């Protein structure tokens, strides 16, 4: 646990929460509704500053945030009672129903817009990296791919009923389906061959995922050393960040994944890396050993040096849309697996500790790219989650407003007592979800195998 990882996690979580609450805040201000409190976190006030009629504060429980609107006492058990001297024209509860719905939906909309804006901006500034084609390059011995009959050179034209899939979606589908048989179709020597593959179950940091045990062809692009750990076999052999790996044990390197798989399969013997450093070829030999953190590895990380495609506004928008739709597709698949009994809730639901673990690993492995990617995913999930029709959440508020509108058509209303009971039930549900998520995080963390993951033998971390 480093200071950078902690600060990165806090920045990601606070950014997602603040942007969500800012959506409510700005729409309420546009309608001239009194905003009494803008809080990051729940519970007792830690510190803040009051400007005008609004108290901008940081509260003790860092599991979300809220905007307290004048005249809205629906969440008083969480937000506290409001002021009693607010003019009627500034009271939220006296505004037309359509205005209250727009204020409620503005938070999730802001999160979704953020999730679109981040990859779009990055694409405009830096371009869109090339994704490897779904062509099999290296098949791990005795792995899922070999058991399914996959061969080097096979092009995957259908995977889990998705036609012409991209490699990223193939890997993500497999990761969510450990020990589940998935259909695929490959093109081999001009003919289509139908196969079935069962991803191998792997565990890393308490998280279970599926691995296909093969590496896609990177199209012949360079495989670069991105990082070398200190006091590791790789550093002692003389390997340096920026080296281009040409051969591994005199076998031509076809991708960064090829290097990782090869090292994993040959952990018991010395491995010779042929690298190109400034035009000079060097042979460096090292052997995997157990390091101080308990993992067995050479201690370096690799990356495929894919070209970057420059895009305009239309291309960046399309890239952002595809990114978010893929996130939604995978989230939907996870939820379907949970309800179908194919995935346990324990391996699905994460609380603040789980979010911290995912955020810190993302930042550790990918730096700023990991930070922005995690913020995109968290913002999108936060926006979607808040639209669920659970009282206390924005979706619950919208549902009650729509229900009131339908009841008004037949001359009926929801009494204050009924509304309070609904909010109390929703509050209890949310608290139970939070307690379960935190408990689940602790169980996963403290039940983690002491030796850690064994797969990434060629990574620096």
pLDDT tens digits, residue range 43-98?
Answer: 888 999 999 889 999 888 776 788 999 888 766 666 666 777 888 899 998 899 99
pLDDT of residue 101: 94
Q: Can you tell me the mean pLDDT for 368-375? A: 83
C-alpha distances (whole Å) from 117 to each of 82, 125, 127 are 35, 12, 14
pLDDT of residue 43: 82
pLDDT of residue 206: 61
- What DSSP line would sit under 176-230, residue for residue? T-TT--EEEEEEETTEEEEEEE-PEEEEETTEEEEE--EEE--TT--EEEEEE-T
pLDDT of residue 196: 95
Contact 237, 286 (CB under 8 A): yes
pTM of the model: 0.76
3-state secondary structure of 31: coil
Q: Residue 154 above 50 pLDDT?
A: yes
CATH 2.30.42.10 range(s) for the chain read 136-216, 223-301
Q: Residue 349 above 90 pLDDT?
A: no
Among 232-236, 350-354, 361-365, the range of highest mean pLDDT: 232-236
Q: Residue 172 above 70 pLDDT?
A: yes
- What DSSP line would sit under 238-256, residue for residue? T--TTPEEEEETTEE---H
| % of the chain at pLDDT higher than 90 | 37
pLDDT of residue 339: 81
Alpha helix positions (H), 127-183: 144-148, 167-175
C-beta atoms surrounding 427 within 10 Å: 16
Question: What's the rounded Cα separation, in Å, for the pair 442 and 212?
Answer: 29
| % of the chain at pLDDT higher than 70 | 90
Q: Which CATH architecture is the domain 223-301 placed in?
A: Roll (2.30)
Q: Counting beta carbons within 10 angstroms of the beta carbon of residue 248, is it exposed (0 to 12), middle (13 to 18) or buried (19 or more)?
A: buried
What are the backbone dihedrals phi and psi of residue 36, each rounded to the nearest 5 degrees, phi first?
-80, -40
Q: Residue 211 above 60 pLDDT?
A: yes
Question: What's the rounded Cα separation, in Å, for the pair 187 and 170?
Answer: 16
Query: Domain 136-216 carries which CATH code?
Result: 2.30.42.10
Question: What's the rounded Cα separation, in Å, for the pair 9 and 46?
Answer: 20
pLDDT of residue 77: 63
Q: Can you tell me the mean pLDDT for 186-213? A: 87
Question: What's the rounded Cα separation, in Å, for the pair 100 and 80?
Answer: 20
Mean pLDDT lowest among 148-157, 226-235, 310-319, 353-362: 353-362
Residue with tokens 């450093």: 277
Q: Residue 459 above 70 pLDDT?
A: no
Q: Residue 356 above 80 pLDDT?
A: no
Contact 320, 116 (CB under 8 A): yes
Question: What's the rounded Cα separation, in Å, for the pair 442 and 437?
Answer: 9
Residue of 381 and 8 predicted with greater confidence:
381
């Amino acid at each position: 646990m480093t200071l950078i990882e902690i600060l990165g996690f806090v920045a990601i979580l606070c950014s997602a929460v603040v942007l969500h609450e800012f959506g409510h805040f700005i729409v309420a201000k546009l309608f001239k509704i009194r905003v009494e409190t803008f809080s990051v976190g729940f519970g007792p006030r830690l510190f803040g500053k009051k400007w005008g009629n609004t108290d901008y504060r940081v509260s003790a429980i860092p599991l979300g945030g809220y905007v307290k609107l004048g005249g809205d006492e629906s969440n008083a058990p969480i937000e506290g009672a409001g002021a009693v001297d607010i003019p009627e024209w500034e009271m939220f509860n006296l505004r037309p129903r359509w205005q209250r719905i727009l204020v409620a939906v503005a938070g999730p909309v802001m999160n979704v817009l953020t999730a679109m804006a981040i990859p779009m901006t990055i694409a405009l500034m830096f371009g869109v990296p090339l994704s490897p084609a779904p062509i099999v390059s290296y098949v791990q011995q005795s792995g899922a791919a070999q058991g399914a009959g996959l061969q080097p050179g096979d092009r995957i034209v259908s995977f889990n009923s998705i036609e012409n899939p991209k490699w990223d979606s193939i890997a993500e589908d497999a990761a969510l389906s450990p020990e589940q048989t998935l259909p695929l179709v490959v093109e081999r020597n001009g003919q289509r061959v139908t196969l079935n593959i069962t991803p191998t179950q792997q565990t890393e940091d308490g998280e279970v995922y599926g691995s296909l045990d093969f590496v896609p062809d990177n199209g012949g692009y360079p495989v670069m050393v991105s990082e070398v750990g200190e006091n590791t076999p790789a550093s002692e052999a003389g390997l340096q960040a920026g080296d281009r790996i040409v051969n591994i044990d005199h076998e031509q390197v076809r991708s960064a994944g090829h290097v990782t798989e090869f090292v994993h399969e040959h952990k018991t013997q010395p491995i010779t890396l042929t690298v190109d450093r400034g035009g000079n070829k060097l042979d460096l030999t090292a052997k995997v050993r157990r390091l101080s953190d308990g993992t067995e590895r050479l201690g370096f990380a690799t990356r495929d040096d894919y070209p970057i495609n420059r895009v305009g506004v239309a291309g960046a928008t399309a890239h952002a849309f595809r990114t978010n739709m893929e996130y939604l597709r995978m989230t939907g698949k996870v939820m379907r697996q949970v309800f179908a009994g194919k995935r346990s809730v324990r391996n699905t639901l994460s609380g603040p500790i789980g979010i911290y673990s995912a955020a810190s690993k993302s930042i550790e492995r990918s730096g700023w790219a990991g930070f922005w990617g995690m913020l995109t995913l968290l913002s999108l999930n936060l926006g979607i989650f808040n639209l669920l029709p659970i009282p206390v959440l924005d979706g619950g508020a919208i549902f009650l407003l729509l229900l009131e509108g339908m009841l008004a058509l037949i001359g009926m209303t929801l009494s204050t007592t009924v509304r309070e009971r609904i909010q109390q039930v929703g509050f209890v549900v949310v608290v139970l979800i939070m307690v379960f998520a935190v408990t689940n995080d602790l169980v996963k963390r403290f039940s983690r195998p002491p030796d850690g993951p064994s797969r990434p033998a060629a990574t620096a971390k």
